[in-house]
Amino acid sequence: MARNKSKALAMLTGGKETKGGSGLDVVVADIADKSSLTPSLFKDVAAVVSCTAAIVRPKEGDGPDRAKYFQGITFYEPEVADVPKETEFEGIYNLVEAASRYSDMKGKTLFACLPSFQEGWRQWGALDDVVMGGVSESGLGVVPGAGETDVSSSSGSPAAAAVFSGEVKTSNSGGFVSIRTRNASPPLDLSEYDALRLRVKGDGNRYKFSIYDSPGWNSKAWCDTFDTVKGEWIDVDIPFTTLKYNFRTESIKDPPPFSPNSINSFQLMLSKFELDGKLNPNFSAGPFELTIASIKAVSIETSEEMQNSRFVHLSSAGVTRPGRPDLDMDTEPPAVRMNEMLSHLLTYKLKGEDVIRDSGIPATIIRPCALTEEPAGAPMIVGQGDYLKGKISRDDIAELAVSSLLTPEASGLTFEVKSDLAFSTLWQGAPQGAPARSYGDILGPLEQGVTGKEWMGDRTPEEAQGVTAEVAPQET
């Protein structure tokens, strides 16, 4: 996702348009424009690497050969081409919000009611007690306005939601209604997750959710029940470890292992019976209604700290340094000394970091020192507390960012990184090419929760770094 497609293609493909199946799709969007971050951009997205930033460029001295970025000694007067607050803070807020709502970073979305997901509900069909002589009836449909208030809507109107409703009757030996999906082709692989999470608003009844890990329509299933609170939205977790193996209403002894990598179908039921002849203690015959906002596969047994990062953000060394009392500002890099002149660029980078840290998404925040166009492979130094100064190759940072998605030790960390070379030493690359790095070993000694902003106490970054409060314009 890029603001300028031609620049992105020039960097990634030499300017050539991508083709289907190439593994690369370049789409145009601007995180500062919330309306451009549509659900379709995030469908099936499992992770995000954010390397966007407000454009700061030298007023003069740069050229097509990027000579400025092969050294770090000569200072070039900068100019800010963007509004840092809009990109570094508000833009990151928009990105995190959209990724949280639309992507699979907080779990794999199986069914949802956003426009790009609504077609999935067509897989569900009624399967009521009429199959055994009963007279109950039910159905499921997506109803506009049946969901929770849509925070992204300017009108604040409720979103759409799927509604499972009808009437359950106990006459003629009946007493259940249900909806079931068609078999998935190929079967779903949910082995990365350990539970399903339903976002529902109920009617006080107890419902049953079944998962079929074999394709037969009349096959055995894994089920669990959940209670609802009338008129209230709740999250319902169905851990795979608590599922009970059954055939219709009879438990199966000595069940085989559950196969999360071969999920064929799902079923949602309201019945007067539970398993083995027991009655449902929270069952009421008559009209019923269960509203469903989403069904996701999630990880609840694995703590956030042990999950691989789903969001890797490239920030900058120095974001906590403006106004910091223990530093000699005369020895700090120009961006720190000139933070106010740069429209408080570093302050809003720090606020963007805080948005990510507060999001609940497993994340890694990387703070590179001065970026250069030198080859990758120079010895790397990482640190915490926001004290490092130096330079680092863009290629090294690109590798570090991608590797952080695959390195459990990176999750939850905020850290600075540079090479061990002085600015005056030009790195021309290792004779044998860039060495392979073990990022688990490099990042393993670092600690979660260390940000370098501890000196601020309870103050906001604006308060600590002297950003003047904005004054609303007066009407004339």
pLDDT at 433: 80
Whether the CB-CB separation of 139 and 124 falls below 8 Å is answered with no
Structural fold of domain 108-298: Jelly Rolls (2.60.120)
Whether the CB-CB separation of 237 and 190 falls below 8 Å is answered with no
Q: Which residues pair with 94 in a beta bridge?
A: none
Bridge pairing between strands 414-419 and 363-368: parallel
* Torsion-angle region of 380 (φ positive above 0: left; ψ -120 to 50: alpha; else: beta): beta
Please say whether the dihedral angle defined by the alpha carbons of residues 332, 333, 339 and 345, taken in this order, is positive or negative.
negative
Q: Where are the domains of the chain?
A: 31-105+304-464, 108-298
Q: How far is CA 398 from CA 49, 75, 335, 394, in A?
A: 10, 25, 22, 6
Phi, psi of 396 (to 5 degrees): -65, -40
Alpha helices in 191-338 (DSSP H): 334-337
d(CA 330, CA 53): 25
Continuous segment of H or E residues that includes residue 373: none
End-to-end CA gap in the chain? 42
d(CA 278, CA 250): 10
**Per CATH, the architecture of 31-105+304-464 is what?**
3-Layer(aba) Sandwich (3.40)
d(CA 265, CA 255): 19
pLDDT at 61: 56
Q: How far is CA 396 from CA 8, 372, 417, 418, 419, in A?
A: 19, 10, 10, 9, 9
pLDDT at 154: 46
Burial 106-135 (b: 16+ CB within 10 A, else e): bbbbbbbbbeebeebbebbebbbbeeeebe
Helix (H, G, I), strand (E, B) or coil at 280: coil
Whether the CB-CB separation of 383 and 392 falls below 8 Å is answered with no
Whether the CB-CB separation of 139 and 130 falls below 8 Å is answered with no
Tens digit of pLDDT at every position of the chain (476 positions) = 999 999 999 988 899 998 877 788 999 999 999 999 998 899 889 899 999 888 877 766 556 665 655 555 566 677 777 899 999 999 999 999 999 888 888 788 899 987 778 889 999 999 999 988 999 999 999 999 999 976 544 445 788 999 999 999 999 889 999 999 999 999 999 998 999 999 999 999 999 999 999 999 899 999 999 999 999 999 999 999 999 999 988 999 999 999 999 999 999 999 999 999 899 999 999 999 999 999 999 988 754 545 789 999 999 999 999 999 999 999 999 999 999 989 999 999 999 999 999 988 899 999 999 999 999 999 999 999 999 999 999 999 999 999 999 999 999 999 999 999 998 899 999 888 878 999 999 999 999 999 999 999 989 899 988 886 443 334 33
For 38-57, give the DSSP string.
-HHHHTT---EEE-----EE
What is the chain's alpha carbon radius of gyration, rounded to the nearest angstrom? 27
The type of residue at 201 is K
Cis amide bond preceding 186, omega within 30? yes
- For residue 394 the two structure tokens come to 């863009």
Contacts of 233 (CB under 8 A, 6+ apart): 148, 199, 200, 201, 293
pLDDT at 472: 34
pLDDT at 302: 58
> E strands along 345-447, which residues?
363-368, 370-372, 380-383, 391-393, 414-419
Q: Scanning the structure block, which residue is given the tokens 């100064």?
A: 389
Eight-state DSSP code of residue 85: I
